[in-house]
Structure 1
Amino acid sequence: GPFVHSELNIGGLPDMASPSFNAGIEPCRMHDGSPLHWDYDHSVLPSPFDPAFDAAAKEWLMAVRDCLSPHAYPAGNIIAVQINDETIYCTSNEPPWTLGFEAPAVREFHRMLEEKYGDIESYNKAHGTTYRAFCFVPPPTLEAPPKEPLALADFGEFQWRMRRDLYCRYASWLGLDLPLLTNFAAITPPIIANVPHNAPKAIPPQLAAAYADWWFAQNRVDQDRHLYHYGMISWLGVAAYNIADTHSEPLPEVGRNEVFLRYLATARRRRGINMEENWGFSQLYHPLSRHPLVPVFQTLVSIAGGCTGYVVFTGVNHAYFGDDLDRVTRRKHPTYPDAAPIGPEGETGPMYEAMALIGQYFAREGKALLSAEPVRECRLLVYPPWAAVASWAPRDPSWPKGGDLADLLLGLTATGVGYDIAEIPAFSVEELLEVPVAVIRFGFFMAEAEQRKLAEFVSRGGKLLAIGEPPVMDDLMRPCTVLSDFLATARKGVLWHHGGFETEALLASLAQVGVSPSVRFPAGTYAVLHQGQRDAFVFFFEFGSTHHRVIYVNGRPIELWTGPKTCAVLHLREDRLVSYCVKGVNEHEGVVPEVRIRYGSDEVVVNGDGCAFSEPT
């Protein structure tokens, strides 16, 4: 806590914390001054910087500490804790004009500006303004965004630091010497749950494509890596069927499976736990979520992307909750989730067998899997200040960068090339060189230190696949062409990508800088490789119906005969199939396929679902 979400009134906060019930609490406000409401009961959310709320949060967390301390590891079984939920009030993938505009938050913004610039004269010089004091500097709004980008970069930094600093303050009050966990929402346009009488916050259509920009601007998880462990959540649609909302019917062909690609990209953001997977929330989210195929498919996608664990939700009975605790969710179904693998009385549901299947597999193979690594054939470099500016930039000829990051992220994922993601300010040259090929979409400004870092990366043997024009200004908008001058004279190590972000165009450019995917697969499928010293794990996902597929792992073929939306993980060692876990039963389509796998001299047949191991425990 103190805000826990869980589809409760005010996200679990007491009534006295909400301005809806306590006029002495300052509301959290959006860019236009309107209060920020909690979707589930339409209560007004409090400013996290309100002094009374801040004091109550401190009192609460210190009381929680006293309750949990005797049970914390090693004396007890609590091995980690999560503070807050999806950063502040579930806004980790909300646009930057959603919160932080009330007076207490704006005062924090002004304090950050003073810390960054020192005095108002330095601020005015950098911004071309004539403010008399920091307290006169307004935050940006959709109606009147600043005409110069540095102000947008400043506010993007504040959106990040606001989330980080609150987390750290709460952690200090909790005071437990345990790993700190987070649960960041997916890199996706916000998904609207099936909440009655909920009016979704409007996002201007011309800015909707910038969802990846605002995510990277306010969630700088690499720069915060010493503070908490990254974790992701799964609420971005139905990955097996490429459904990005809570109501659309499945189409006969999924086409370019963007839901899957976003899911995989979120898992690749940084290694950590899949903190929330949709094990049976078919009332709040898509009705297909009642089928075991959906959470198993998505759990395997998250692990393929790099997740080091996953959460399974078991059912609780909330039918007896009163309106003072839950005015919405309990009315949809008496248990939560409605189709959980294990119900509130310990009874098993339709998802139980599938949950037990993958649980059995990872209980045996989890240690070996974690000793392998997702292959990293290149790295996507991100500079958060660019994303902060692009978050407010409409997609028109005068602002071509708004939305480019999302297009590049999906395009790179679609190639099948193994990659990771790095925030440039958080990595040293030595760390960047661990993955010697980097992809970057340039913006026109960058801190001089970061320009020199990239120049050194190339001069020491790194390769850049560069898109757009290199920066010509530093982070304070002063002329700075360190990187541009270096790249203009570099004889090797730089390739300019002039095509679009389509798969073939990106693959062609990547090949020119020496990147060839370790895994190759036909259209309508996807495969991911984790490579260890001796062993390899291959994750396979079928997007079509019944097919005979051949995928190639480091040039070696794996033949698969699959059913509709079959997914699997295979453990390989040289020319042997050491183990497998297959989810072949498609409950939605009523298909129990015969899944056949042939690798080297090994061939196995699985009727529907199954896992097996060729070696004893």
Structure 2
Amino acid sequence: MVIEVRDGVAVVDGEPRVLVTADYPYYRDDPAQWADRLRAVRDELGIEVITCYLPWRHHQPEPGSAPDFTGATHPARNVVGFLTLCHRLGLKVIAKPGPFIHAELTYGGLPDWVCPDADSSIEPLLDARGAATRWSDGSDPVGRTLPAPLGATFLTRTTQWLSAVGKEVLAAADEGSMPVIALQIANEGIYTNGALPLTAYDYGPSALAFFRDRLRAWYGDLAAYNAVHGTSHRDWTAVEPPNGTAGPRAKADWGRFHADYLAEVYRVWSQAVGSDLPVLVNLNPPTVPELDDWLARVRPELWGGISYGFTNWMGVVSQDRDAHARYVIAAKRAPGPNLEENWGFSQLYHPAYIDASTSFHQSLLALAAGATGFNVYTGVATSGWAPELDTAHARPYPDCPPIDASGTATVKAPVVRALADFFARHGGEFLECAGVTDHAFGLYLPYAGIAALSKENGTGECGAPPDGPGCGRPLRAFHERMRALGLDYAVLDLEHATAEELAAFSSVTVPGGPFMHRRVQELLAAYARSGGRVLLDGPVPELDENLAPCALLPPPATPPDPGPGPLLYGDADVYLRSHPDRDVHYLTVLVRTGHEGPVGVRTPYGTVEVVAAEGGAAVVRLAGGELGDLVVKGVNGYLSCEVEASVRLNGTRVGAPGPGDLIRIGGAHT
């Protein structure tokens, strides 16, 4: 198996695939059980790709010794043996060497000896107040200080760790004797901090040196910087990070710095591994108050060959409007897989995850909204980890996955198997189909940085000042309008968008503000001249990025009549994808918590009626005017809901024989 990642899509042996994976934390289990658990993932869940973190603190607990990847010091450290076992069982692996991994491990998987508290030569990560940022795993309320990722000492040690992984664990991958097909670097930002405020980090010496280097690159010389900012600095070292009262361009610069900072950390850590394997990252979705902070920081367009991915961990989307918005925005920000979907944690996160319907609903929502794969986190329960790895969480970990701690398939296993089989059969075609979207939201991300740093002066929705520019508030408002109309939409970064990309939409909604890049204004003006509608949420910009006069945008257009959405009746979110060349469509129906009864959807073949459980979901292939393969969740034990799952089209009904799920794959019911 040869894998590439093209525009966020996994291409396996030349064929695009929906990337379906399951995580197995081998370091939490007895090595004697590895083979049995891997077979269960393969045979019971139908999943061929394993994801696994490689905890630094597990493999190199002491600074004076080399990392142990072969089990010389403890059998559970034999990750080379684990990968060899995966290879023998026909499984492929996405390896995740961190260096920070979270994974409910002590100090996020970092060894204690890289902590600034233990070694004064290691620079701490600092917030806007100059305070050290600390990480607590739950057992220690104070937590340990996190190291600055670009600090010289820590960067040397992370480079040594990642290089050792590349040389001693991954080196054979290119020769086909190891199963590793891709890497994931870091976790949910750098230290699970991708969604934190821009003021949370990094104000330490190494980060500020990088900040000033970036200013030099952006402005060319100090005179140009002073002209834009109205300052009279004589040296770059005099430029300080902006606070809440700084001018808009200074705030926009700090947001841009965060985007470049994240890109730089990803770059140096990926480069340190020294592998030609595809590299992915996983971003946690934004919080509602920090939506602008997240948008300013998360700019996949700057990452070069590193591919976007995201996680869940923010609430039950079928019942929580905020969680739904955060999830959809994360899925639409860039193409890439959902690399951690909660399929096993009900006690640690929310009791709704005791039932497979919650995870089934969210996995399908991610794919419908734009994700290119999903991960079962975790596929297997474990209970054999050493105390130095985790003393804060009860065994087993997690409490309710598809394969339990004894290796037995649970009631979630057939649901995972149905999704895996459906997308193994139809995933390539599903990805070829395009979402039916006629409207887009255009991000102008300098406004995100401005709003993120202006929150202390007055807070509106999404944390942005109600009378200032921002991206979070207008994007959230746009999302809610589209959801109320039952319409899908796209998200574009206007600083990187092309005329061809804009031309695919009849309207683009853009946040307004005092200035806008000249190139972006020219792009939008040309789009308007060609018949597109530019809908401004805010004032018309009258300046360019250098604050010189520039007013190229046309007067705000009248919002178009969106026409009827696909949802005819029922309380649900619906997504329709259509193939550009064949008479094939995919319908996803996501039933909201509280809804009972059928959901009717307008399709090219007429009305499709779906009956699914409250909080459940369905995915249906439509081809040639007929119902094809489908998976419908008819039972939600958490909500005590059991229905006879069914799908009806033009008098033809496919249904379960009684209360329960409905699965038809390859034309056969299971």
Give the TM interval when normalised to the shorter protein: 0.7 to 0.9
The alignment partner of 1:92 has SS state of coil
Letter in 2 for 1:279: W
Contact 2:570–2:599 at 8 Å: present in 1 too?
no
Contact 1:17–1:25 at 8 Å: present in 2 too?
yes
**1:321 aligned onto 2:386:** yes
| 367, 378, 385: which one aligns with 2:428 | 367
How far, CA to CA, are the matches of 1:407 and 1:416 in structure 2? 14
**1:222 aligned onto 2:301:** yes
Deviations 1:307-344 (A, max 9, x none): 2211112235355422x332323xxx212222111134
Map 1:421-440 → 2, pairs under 5 A: 421-440=491-510
Report the equivalent of 2:217: 115
Deviations 1:507-526 (A, max 9, x none): xx331xxx435523435211
Shift of the 75–384 alpha-carbon distance from structure 1 to 2, 3 Å rule, reads farther
Deviations 1:140-194 (A, max 9, x none): 34xxx233111101100110000001111112221211221111111333xxxxx
Report the Cα offset of residue 298 of structure 1: 0.8
Report the Cα offset of residue 465 of structure 1: 2.6
Report the Cα offset of residue 576 of structure 1: 0.7
Report the equivalent of 2:627: 577
How far, CA to CA, are the matches of 2:605 and 2:322 in structure 1? 27
Shift of the 180–586 alpha-carbon distance from structure 1 to 2, 3 Å rule, reads same
Map 1:279-294 → 2, pairs under 5 A: 279-294=343-358
Map 1:495-510 → 2, pairs under 5 A: 495-496=557-558, 509-510=559-560
Report the Cα offset of residue 482 of structure 1: 2.6
How far, CA to CA, are the matches of 2:466 and 2:643 in structure 1? 50
Structure 2 alignment gaps of length 5 or more: 1-97
The alignment partner of 2:560 has SS state of helix
How far, CA to CA, are the matches of 1:315 and 1:7 in structure 2? 15
Structure 1 alignment gaps of length 5 or more: 190-207, 243-256, 489-493, 497-508
How far, CA to CA, are the matches of 1:228 and 1:366 in structure 2? 23
| 233, 236, 248: which one aligns with 2:311 | 233
The alignment partner of 1:335 has SS state of coil
| 149, 153, 164: which one aligns with 2:263 | 164
Contact 1:261–1:413 at 8 Å: present in 2 too?
no
**1:212 aligned onto 2:311:** no
Report the equivalent of 2:111: 14
Deviations 1:485-525 (A, max 9, x none): xx14xxxxx614xxxxxxxxxxxx331xxx43552343521
How far, CA to CA, are the matches of 1:263 and 1:158 in structure 2? 25
**1:558 aligned onto 2:595:** no
How far, CA to CA, are the matches of 1:220 and 1:409 in structure 2? 19
Letter in 1 for 2:523: K
Contact 2:570–2:597 at 8 Å: present in 1 too?
no
Letter in 2 for 1:118: G
The farther-off stretch of 335-344 and 152-161 is 335-344
Contact 2:572–2:590 at 8 Å: present in 1 too?
yes
What TM-score do you get using the length of structure 2 for normalisation? 0.78
How far, CA to CA, are the matches of 1:455 and 1:434 in structure 2? 16
Report the equivalent of 2:245: 146
Letter in 2 for 1:134: W
Percent identity between matched residues is: 29
RMSD: 2.2
Report the equivalent of 1:43: 144
| 304, 310, 319: which one aligns with 2:368 | 304
Contact 1:265–1:413 at 8 Å: present in 2 too?
no
Contact 2:635–2:641 at 8 Å: present in 1 too?
yes
How far, CA to CA, are the matches of 1:282 and 1:549 in structure 2? 28
The farther-off stretch of 339-348 and 566-575 is 339-348
How far, CA to CA, are the matches of 2:240 and 2:391 in structure 1? 37
The alignment partner of 1:539 has SS state of strand
**1:531 aligned onto 2:630:** no
Report the equivalent of 2:328: 264
How far, CA to CA, are the matches of 1:352 and 1:160 in structure 2? 39
Report the equivalent of 2:35: none
How far, CA to CA, are the matches of 1:76 and 1:284 in structure 2? 34
How far, CA to CA, are the matches of 1:29 and 1:286 in structure 2? 32
The alignment partner of 1:526 has SS state of strand
The farther-off stretch of 78-87 and 65-74 is 65-74
Greater length-normalized contact order (CA 8 Å, ≥ 6 residues apart): 2
Map 1:243-262 → 2, pairs under 5 A: 257-262=321-326
How far, CA to CA, are the matches of 1:410 and 1:212 in structure 2? 15
Contact 2:590–2:616 at 8 Å: present in 1 too?
yes
| 528, 539, 548: which one aligns with 1:469 | 539
The farther-off stretch of 435-444 and 524-533 is 435-444
| 283, 298, 304: which one aligns with 1:184 | 283
How far, CA to CA, are the matches of 2:627 and 2:319 in structure 1? 29
Shift of the 557–125 alpha-carbon distance from structure 1 to 2, 3 Å rule, reads same
How far, CA to CA, are the matches of 1:268 and 1:170 in structure 2? 26
Report the Cα offset of residue 278 of structure 1: 0.4
How far, CA to CA, are the matches of 1:561 and 1:317 in structure 2? 36
Contact 1:580–1:611 at 8 Å: present in 2 too?
yes
Report the equivalent of 1:61: 162
Map 1:357-436 → 2, pairs under 5 A: 357-393=418-454, 394-395=459-460, 396=465, 398-399=467-468, 401=470, 403-436=473-506
The alignment partner of 1:135 has SS state of helix
Report the equivalent of 1:522: 569
Report the Cα offset of residue 27 of structure 1: 0.7
Letter in 2 for 1:535: V
How far, CA to CA, are the matches of 1:146 and 1:162 in structure 2? 23
Deviations 1:58-115 (A, max 9, x none): 1111111112020247554222111111121111111111111112211111111122
How far, CA to CA, are the matches of 2:494 and 2:380 in structure 1? 42
Shift of the 601–215 alpha-carbon distance from structure 1 to 2, 3 Å rule, reads same
Report the Cα offset of residue 554 of structure 1: 4.1
Q: What is the number of equivalent residue pairs in this alignment?
A: 552
Contact 1:6–1:12 at 8 Å: present in 2 too?
yes
Shift of the 236–510 alpha-carbon distance from structure 1 to 2, 3 Å rule, reads farther
Report the Cα offset of residue 557 of structure 1: 0.9
The alignment partner of 2:598 has SS state of strand
Report the Cα offset of residue 345 of structure 1: 4.2
How far, CA to CA, are the matches of 2:609 and 2:482 in structure 1? 25
What TM-score do you get using the length of structure 1 for normalisation? 0.85
**1:354 aligned onto 2:415:** yes
Deviations 1:96-143 (A, max 9, x none): 1111111221111111112222332222221112223221222134xx
Letter in 2 for 1:86: E
How far, CA to CA, are the matches of 2:99 and 2:469 in structure 1? 40
Letter in 1 for 2:179: N
How far, CA to CA, are the matches of 2:396 and 2:371 in structure 1? 28
Contact 1:213–1:405 at 8 Å: present in 2 too?
no
The alignment partner of 1:317 has SS state of coil
The alignment partner of 1:377 has SS state of strand
Shift of the 400–521 alpha-carbon distance from structure 1 to 2, 3 Å rule, reads farther
| 602, 609, 614: which one aligns with 2:661 | 609
| 435, 442, 464: which one aligns with 2:512 | 442
How far, CA to CA, are the matches of 1:376 and 1:26 in structure 2? 47
Contact 1:378–1:419 at 8 Å: present in 2 too?
yes
Report the Cα offset of residue 387 of structure 1: 1.0
Contact 1:581–1:612 at 8 Å: present in 2 too?
yes
